[in-house]
Amino acid sequence: MKKDLLGISDLTRDEIYLVLDTAEAMREIAERPIKKVPTLRGKTVVNLFYEPSTRTRTSFEIAEKRLSADTLNIAVAASSVLKGETLVDTALNIEAMAPDMIVLRHASSGAGHLLARLCKSRIINAGDGMHEHPTQALLDAFTIREHKKRIEGLKVAIIGDLLHSRVLRSNALLLTTLGAEVWVSGPRTLMPPAVERFGVRASTSVDEAVADADVIMLLRIQHERMNGAFFPSVREYFNTFGMTTARMARAKPDAIIMHPGPMNRGVEIASEVADGPYSVILEQVANGVAVRMAVLYLLAGGEGD
């Protein structure tokens, strides 16, 4: 592993499998009477979150605590960032207190790379703008592998707000590296230009993307990143792209439904689908802790292969 985990693009195929296999071992810890191992005793991990996040921050914090690391949460709403401090200054001040790792969530793409250059601490990207969200893609792959026993050769349909989605980028990179066939669908206005460069096949027809799919992954409509009218109305979006039981019928009978959360029910996903028997959305959350434990453990070692 490299010093930092900034994106799936940092990982080789073998390293991806190493993370998934290690997460497999980590998952058992959650079933013990004492859900804690002494592995990261004496290590300090700072969770630096510049964007609101419940799932990812909580997931990282639980993972750190289960490995016995000392954790510190800095939520920007209550920090000196509001007093005008820049990311670089905040990072250098945190670095001066000698943490071992910094988990960073930031609205700007590449914020993790900036920190990685400045800091001796290992940086884990917990989502940077519209760029990458590597631990999300790893936990998605873990969940898919658990259900389908493989990733190679699967058809995965990713549907929703592709333009603003770091989850799409990380997942497309990871799934195609492991040999899955990835289809994406959504309104033209929410597709990044030349989306095929991620190694995916694009269609504005959900039905085409979903046909015979093994996995359907829905992405949230990110109203907060939209500074224009990308589609006429939420209702029209749901009618054209929302995942319903009728649309699901085109996928394989044993297809699973995934969503990185938070869900907009009645926008990208119908409630009946989100709560359906094929939905693995809450398993994704549970697996997230194990995958993040694996990443923390593997990064805490030396560099190299």
Partner 1 sequence: MDADRMARTLARIAHEISERNRGIEELALVGIRTRGVPIARRLAEAIKDINGVDVPTGALDITLYRDDLMRHAVGPQPLVRRTEIPFSIDDKRILLVDDVLYTGRTIRAALDALIDFGRPRVIQLIVMVDRGHRELPIKADYVGKNLPTSPSQSVQVHLAEVDGRDEVEITES
Residues that bind partner 1 (CB under 8 A): 1, 18, 21-22, 24-26, 28, 32-34, 36-40, 42-43, 67, 294, 297-298, 300-305
CA distances to 65, 67, 141, 178 from 261, in Å: 23, 25, 16, 23
Q: Nearer Cβ to partner 1, position 277 or 301?
A: 301
Query: For residue 4, which phi and psi values (nearest 5 degrees)?
Result: -120, 160
Cβ atoms within 10 Å of 4's Cβ, excluding its own: 23
Q: Nearer Cβ to partner 1, position 23 or 243?
A: 23
Least distance CB 60 / partner 1 (angstroms): 18
Q: Nearer Cβ to partner 1, position 20 or 168?
A: 20
Residue 229: which residues within 8 A CB-CB, separation 6 or more? none
Give the torsion through C-alpha atoms of 248, 140, 182, 214, to 10 deg.
-40
Least distance CB 209 / partner 1 (angstroms): 36
Q: Nearer Cβ to partner 1, position 277 or 302?
A: 302
Secondary structure (DSSP) of 53-113: -SHHHHHHHHHHHHTT-EEEEEEGGGSGGGGT--HHHHHHHHHHT--SEEEEEESSTTHHH
Least distance CB 91 / partner 1 (angstroms): 23
Least distance CB 39 / partner 1 (angstroms): 4
Helix then strand then coil, % of the chain, to nearest 5:
45, 15, 40
Q: Nearer Cβ to partner 1, position 124 or 182?
A: 124
Q: Nearer Cβ to partner 1, position 157 or 299?
A: 299
Please report, in angstroms and rounded to a whole number, the separation of the first and last CA atoms in the chain: 6
Least distance CB 41 / partner 1 (angstroms): 8
CA atoms of 156 and 212, how far apart (whole Å): 9
Least distance CB 10 / partner 1 (angstroms): 14
CA atoms of 92 and 290, how far apart (whole Å): 30
CA atoms of 21 and 140, how far apart (whole Å): 14
Q: Which residue has the tokens 């998605």?
A: 140
Q: Nearer Cβ to partner 1, position 62 or 107?
A: 62
Q: Nearer Cβ to partner 1, position 33 or 277?
A: 33
Least distance CB 170 / partner 1 (angstroms): 22
Least distance CB 138 / partner 1 (angstroms): 15
Query: For residue 127, which phi and psi values (nearest 5 degrees)?
Result: 115, 115
CA angle 269, 54, 100 (to 5 degrees): 135
